[in-house]
Amino acid sequence: MTRTAYGLLMALLTLNSVIAAGLEDLKPITDWEPCAAGVWRGTIGDMKEEVRYTDLAAQSPRLEALQALPSAKFPFAAGTIRFLQTDRQEIMVRIPTDADEKLYGFGLQYDGLRKSGKILNLNVDHWAKGGGRTHAPVPFYLSSAGYGIFFNTARFLKVYAQIGNRKDSPHNPLPVDRNPMPDEKQPGRWQARPAGDAVEARIQGRGMEVLVFSGSSLLEIVQRYNLYCGGGALPPLWGLGFWHRVPARFSADQTRAEIEEFARRNFPLDVIGLEPGWMTKSYPCTFEWNRRRFPDPSGFTRELLDKGVRLNLWENPYISPAARLYKPMYALSGSHMVWLGLVPDYTLPAARKLLTEQHAQDHIAIGISGYKIDEVDGYDFWLWPDHATFPSGTSGETMRQTYGLLMQRMLYQDLFQKRNVRTYGLVRASNGAASGYPFAIYSDSYSHAQYITGLSAASLCGILWAPETRSARNGREWLNRIQTSCFSPLAMLNAWASAKKPWSYPEVTDAVRKSVELRLRLLPYLYTAFADYAFKGVPPMRAMILESGGASADQGTAIRGRLDGEANPYAQARTVERNDQFMFGPSIMVAPFYEKYATERQVQLPAGDWYDFYTGRHVGGRQKNITISAAQTGDRMPLFVKRGAVIPLLARTISNTDQAYGCELELRLYGSTKGSYELYEDDGKSFDYMKGNYSLRKIEVRKTQSGEFTYTEERIPSDGPSMFGKIKTLKVMGAQ
Ligand code: GAL
C-alpha cells in the first residue's frame, strides 16, 4: 500500500471513529499501551484470572529486533476499537473495517487464507470442515489496511469477520429489493450477505487482551507478531533432514531392518519416528519402553545415533493406570479422563516435574531427540468436556485452547533448553504465541490441496505445518506428495498405518530420492531461512500475499451466484482463492503438482523476473501465467527463482545432515550481474546461538569488467562458529 493510500485509509478510519461514536452501548478501548516498537496492548475487564497466550510463549519478546523494523504508528484513530462487556461475562470487541479491506489468517485454516465474510469458531479441534475449528485456531489476523490484531486470551473465540450489520453502524450498504418490479431502479445487486464493516469477536470470560501490530506490509506485521511472541523456532540441523515414522507395532529388529534398507537403497535418513507400540501401553499411555519390542532401548538408541539417525517418540499425554506416573499424577489431573487415562494439569509445576523427570530418565538420558505429541486437539468426543475441572482452577475451555502449548512448553523448556540441546518434533495442536516452539503441526486429514494451503496459512500466524506423506493411490500421487513434504518445515513419511517406504512405488523411486536429496542440498539456504525466522520473525515458508505486491496481487476468481432453488437458493457469489504456490526461503517460489494438476499446472508469476531453478531459463514475470509440466521439469518439483537471488547449496549430495558439516558449497546467482547473501552458521545443535554464538558469511557476487563472475566473502565475526565448508563453485544461472 502506498503512503497516500495508507494516509487516506487512516483518515477514513478517523472519520469512522467519529461517526462510530454513535455506537452508544460500546465503550472505546482508551488505554492503548505501547508494549514494544509497533505493538500496542488494550485490556478489557480483569485479566487476573485469564490466561494470555503470550504467557505460554517459548521466549520473551525480541524487543531489539522489533525496534530494528521500520518505525510504525498506532494504526487506528482514538476510540476506533470498541467493546461490550455484559454481566453474563461476555466480552465482545469491535474493530471497524473499510469496504475494500481484506482480512487474512485466524490460524491453520486449510480452506483458504481470506477471512472476509466468514464466521469462525476458533476452538482447538481436529480439522473437520472449516468453520474455524482447527489444530491451531490462532486468534490473530492481518488486514490489508496495514495492521494485525491478536486476541491474546485463551478462550473459545467466535469471530464475525465483516459479517453482520449493526443498525447504528455508519457504513452499512443500502438495502436492495430482492424482487423488484421491472421498472424499479436498484442501488446495486441484492446480496444474500450484505457487506459488514467490522470484525466483531466474542468470548465468555472476565477479561480480554487485544494486541495491535502495525506494519507497512503484511510481512512486516507477521514479523512483529512472531518477534513479539519471542521470535521463530530454530530447529537443530538434523531436524531439517528426512524423517520416517515406522508402523505402530514395529519392534527394534524391524526398525533396524528398515534403517538398513534405507542405507542399502541409498535413501537419505535423519530421524526415525516410533509410533505408539514402543510403550508398554498406549491410548492411554505409560511412556515406558515395551521391553518385548525394545529389549535394550539405550543400546538401540546409541546404535542408531552412531549411524547419524535420531529417534523421535510418539506419545499422547493421557496416563494409563499401568504407568508409574499414574498414582502420583492422580491428584494433579483433571476431573475427566481421555481414553480412560488421566489428563495431567501441566499448569502445575509439580505435574511438570513428575513427567519431565520420568522422560529425562527413560528417554533423554539415553539420547532420544524429541517427541510427537498426539491427540491434544479433539474432536470433542475424545477430549474432556468444557465443564471439566482441573486442580489449578484452569477452566476446561482454557485447558483445551492451551494443552498443545503447555506440552510444547514443558518438553521444550524443561527437557531440552535446560540441557542446552535443541529439539525438533511434532504436535497436533497449538495456538497463539507459539512461534518459538520447534514443533510442526500435522493432521489426520489428507487432502493434498489443503496440505499445500496449510503451508501458506501457517506462515500467517507463527506456526510450522508438516504436510506429511502417508500413502497414495499411485506412484504419481506419491511423488507429488513427497515433493510437497520436502519443501515444508518438516519432511516426513508417516507410515504408522500404511507401512509404506519411500521406495514403495518403484516407478518413481529415483524421482523421490532426488527430491529428498535436493532438500538436503538446500540445507545451507533452508537453515538460514529458519535463522531469519528466529531472529527477524520472517517465516521460512511463506504465503504469496506476504511477498511484495501482497494483498493487492491477491485477486482470486469471482464466481457469480446463479439462483438455483435447490443448489443455491440465495444466489450466493463466491471467490475461489489460489493458494497452491508458496515461497520457500527468501527467493524460491514453489508450485507443487497435486490432485488434478498431477503432471501439469498453471503457475502465476509474481511481479519481477523469474527463472527456472534447475536450468536458469528465464520464465517471465509481471503476473504472467505459465503452464509447467512434469515432462518439462523431469519429474522434479517446479521451482522458480527471483532475479538477482543468490542461493547456496551443498556442492554434493549427502544422505544424512551430519555430512553437511564442513561440506563444500555451490553458489548460484540467478539472472543478474550481481547479488548478495548472508549465510547463517552456528553449531547446529545447542542454544548457544541465543547468546550470540553464531556467524554470518556475507557473500557478494558480481560481474567484473572483463565479463567474468566473481565473489567475495566475509565471516562476521571472523572467529565465529563455522558449519558448512568453503565455496567450491559459482554457477551463473540464466542470461545476464
Ligand atoms: C494418530 C496420528 C497418527 C498416528 C496414530 C497412531 O492420531 O495422527 O499420525 O500417530 O495416531 O495411533
Reported pTM:
0.95
Residue appearing with cell numbers 528417554: 363
- Whether the CB-CB separation of 287 and 354 falls below 8 Å is answered with no
> Crossing angle of helices 297-306/252-264, nearest 10°?
10
Q: 628 C-alpha to center of ligand 1: Å?
A: 35
Q: 444 C-alpha to center of ligand 1: Å?
A: 7
Is 502 within a domain? no
Is 178 within a domain? no
Cell of 7: 494516509
| Ligand 1 binding pocket includes 277 (Cβ within 6 Å) | no
Which atom belonging to ligand 1 lies closest to the Cα atom of 496?
4
| Ligand 1 binding pocket includes 276 (Cβ within 6 Å) | yes
Q: 209 C-alpha to center of ligand 1: Å?
A: 35
24: confidence class by pLDDT, cuts 50, 70, 90: confident
Q: 443 C-alpha to center of ligand 1: Å?
A: 9
Mutate to test the pocket of ligand 1, among 127, 244, 275 (most ligand atoms within 8 A of CB): 275
Amino acid at 75: P
pLDDT score for 34: 96
Nearest CA to ligand 1 atom 12: 276
Of the residues 641, 666, 699, which one is the last residue of a structural domain?
Answer: 641
| Ligand 1 binding pocket includes 371 (Cβ within 6 Å) | no
Q: 411 C-alpha to center of ligand 1: Å?
A: 19
pLDDT score for 19: 45
Alpha carbon distance 297, 286 (integer Å): 15
User: How many residues does this entry show for the chain?
Assistant: 736
Q: 314 C-alpha to center of ligand 1: Å?
A: 8
Q: Are residues 616 and 651 in the same domain?
A: no
- Whether the CB-CB separation of 205 and 158 falls below 8 Å is answered with no
pLDDT score for 519: 98
Question: What share of the chain in percent tops pLDDT 70?
Answer: 96
CA 102 to chain centre: 20
Q: DSSP 3-state helix, strand, coil percentages of the chain (rounded to 5)?
A: 25, 25, 50
What is the rounded radius of gyration, in angstroms, for the C-alpha atoms of the chain? 26
Q: 380 C-alpha to center of ligand 1: Å?
A: 17
The residue among 15, 7, 399, 347 whose CA lies nearest residue 170 is: 15
CA 446 to chain centre: 17
DSSP codes, 195-257: PP-EEEEEEESSEEEEEEEE-SSHHHHHHHHHHHTT------GGGGSEEEEPPTT--HHHHHH
Cell of 114: 481470506
Which atom belonging to ligand 1 lies closest to the Cα atom of 372?
10
Q: 629 C-alpha to center of ligand 1: Å?
A: 34
Is 458 within a domain? no
Sign, Cα dihedral of 396, 400, 402, 408: positive
Q: List, as own/partner pairs, every contact residues 416-421 make where C-beta atoms lie below 8 angstroms and the sequence separation is at least 24, other chains included.
A: 416/364, 416/370, 417/687, 419/364, 420/686, 420/687, 420/688, 421/685, 421/686
Q: Are residues 614 and 661 in the same domain?
A: no
236: confidence class by pLDDT, cuts 50, 70, 90: very high
For residue 538, pLDDT beyond 50: yes
Nearest CA to ligand 1 atom 8: 444
Cell of 395: 477452566
| Ligand 1 binding pocket includes 314 (Cβ within 6 Å) | yes
Q: 502 C-alpha to center of ligand 1: Å?
A: 19
Angle at 688 between CA 684 and CA 693, to 5 degrees: 90
271: confidence class by pLDDT, cuts 50, 70, 90: very high
Q: 245 C-alpha to center of ligand 1: Å?
A: 10
pLDDT score for 13: 46
Is 486 within a domain? no
Q: What is the pLDDT of residues 415-474, one digit of tens each?
A: 999 999 999 999 999 999 999 999 999 999 999 999 999 999 999 999 999 999 999 999
pLDDT score for 17: 46
Q: 690 C-alpha to center of ligand 1: Å?
A: 34
If one counts the domains in the chain, the total is: 4
| Ligand 1 binding pocket includes 315 (Cβ within 6 Å) | no
SS3 400: helix
- Whether the CB-CB separation of 368 and 313 falls below 8 Å is answered with yes
For residue 85, pLDDT beyond 60: yes
pLDDT score for 684: 98
380: confidence class by pLDDT, cuts 50, 70, 90: confident
| Ligand 1 binding pocket includes 46 (Cβ within 6 Å) | no
Q: Are residues 199 and 279 in the same domain?
A: no
Q: 316 C-alpha to center of ligand 1: Å?
A: 9
Which atom belonging to ligand 1 lies closest to the Cα atom of 282?
12
Q: Are residues 620 and 671 in the same domain?
A: no
Q: 374 C-alpha to center of ligand 1: Å?
A: 7
Q: Are residues 729 and 595 in the same domain?
A: no
| Ligand 1 binding pocket includes 374 (Cβ within 6 Å) | yes
| Ligand 1 binding pocket includes 275 (Cβ within 6 Å) | yes
Q: Are residues 596 and 689 in the same domain?
A: no
DSSP codes, 20-32: GGG-TTSEEP---
Which atom belonging to ligand 1 lies closest to the Cα atom of 375?
7
> Mind spelling out the 3-state secondary structure of 34-58?
EEECCEEEEEEECCCCCCCHHHHCC
Out of 183-197, 385-399, 522-536, least confident range: 183-197
SS3 338: strand
Is 712 within a domain? yes
* Terminal alpha carbon distance of the chain: 31
Of the residues 641, 665, 696, which one is the last residue of a structural domain?
Answer: 641
Stretch 651-673: mean pLDDT:
97
Give the number of other Cβ atoms within 10 Å of residue 278's Cβ: 26
The residue among 650, 647, 734, 662 whose CA lies nearest residue 699 is: 647
Q: 348 C-alpha to center of ligand 1: Å?
A: 27
Give the number of other Cβ atoms within 10 Å of residue 132's Cβ: 23
Nearest CA to ligand 1 atom 4: 496
Nearest CA to ligand 1 atom 10: 275
> Crossing angle of helices 523-536/218-228, nearest 10°?
70
11: confidence class by pLDDT, cuts 50, 70, 90: very low
Give the number of other Cβ atoms within 10 Å of residue 90's Cβ: 12
| Burial class of 379 by CB neighbour count within 10 A (0 to 12, 13 to 18, 19+) | exposed
Q: Are residues 627 and 657 in the same domain?
A: no
E strand map for 29-174: 33-36, 39-45, 82-85, 90-96, 103-105, 118-122, 140-143, 147-151, 157-161
Which atom belonging to ligand 1 lies closest to the Cα atom of 283?
12
Q: Helices (DSSP H) in 378-474: which residue ranges?
A: 396-409, 448-459
Q: Are residues 10 and 60 in the same domain?
A: yes
SS3 728: strand
The CATH number of the domain where 583 resides is what? 2.60.40.1180
Q: Are residues 347 and 220 in the same domain?
A: no
Residue environment code for 610-647, b if the CB has 16+ CB neighbours within 10 A, otherwise e: bbbbbebebbebeeeeeebebebbebbbbbbbbbbbbb
For residue 129, pLDDT beyond 70: no
Q: Are residues 9 and 108 in the same domain?
A: yes
Of the residues 612, 641, 670, which one is the last residue of a structural domain?
Answer: 641
Which atom belonging to ligand 1 lies closest to the Cα atom of 443?
8
Cell of 239: 531436524
| Ligand 1 binding pocket includes 248 (Cβ within 6 Å) | yes
Q: 441 C-alpha to center of ligand 1: Å?
A: 12
Is 411 within a domain? yes
Residue environment code for 206-224, b if the CB has 16+ CB neighbours within 10 A, otherwise e: bbbbbbbbbbbbbbbbbbb
Give 172's Cβ-side CA count (13 Å radius).
10
Beta partners for residue 575, in sequence order: 558
Q: Are residues 97 and 161 in the same domain?
A: yes
Alpha carbon distance 686, 693 (integer Å): 10
Beta partners for residue 319, in sequence order: 285, 342
Give the structural domain span for 140: 3-173+189-228
Q: Are residues 627 and 652 in the same domain?
A: no
Residues 6+ apart with CB under 8 A from 351: 329, 332, 333, 344, 345
Averaged pLDDT score across all residues of the chain: 94
Beta partners for residue 395, in sequence order: 389
Mutate to test the pocket of ligand 1, among 274, 443, 444 (most ligand atoms within 8 A of CB): 444
What Å distances lie between residue 687 and 236, 417, 423, 662, CA to CA? 9, 7, 10, 20
CA dihedral in degrees (544, 550, 551, 553; nearest 10)? -90
Stretch 364-372: mean pLDDT:
98
Alpha carbon distance 470, 580 (integer Å): 20
Query: How many helices (DSSP H) and strands (DSSP E) are in the chain?
Result: 14, 36
Q: What is the pLDDT of residues 548-581, one digit of tens each?
A: 777 666 667 888 889 999 999 999 988 888 899 9
For residue 7, pLDDT beyond 70: no
The CATH number of the domain where 374 resides is what? 3.20.20.80
Residues 6+ apart with CB under 8 A from 348: 332, 391, 392
Is 261 within a domain? no
Residues 6+ apart with CB under 8 A from 50: 153, 154, 155, 205, 206, 207, 208, 209, 398
Alpha carbon distance 530, 533 (integer Å): 5
Mutate to test the pocket of ligand 1, among 372, 446, 471, 496 (most ligand atoms within 8 A of CB): 496
Q: What is the pLDDT of residues 315-331, one digit of tens each?
A: 999 999 999 999 999 99
Is 456 within a domain? no
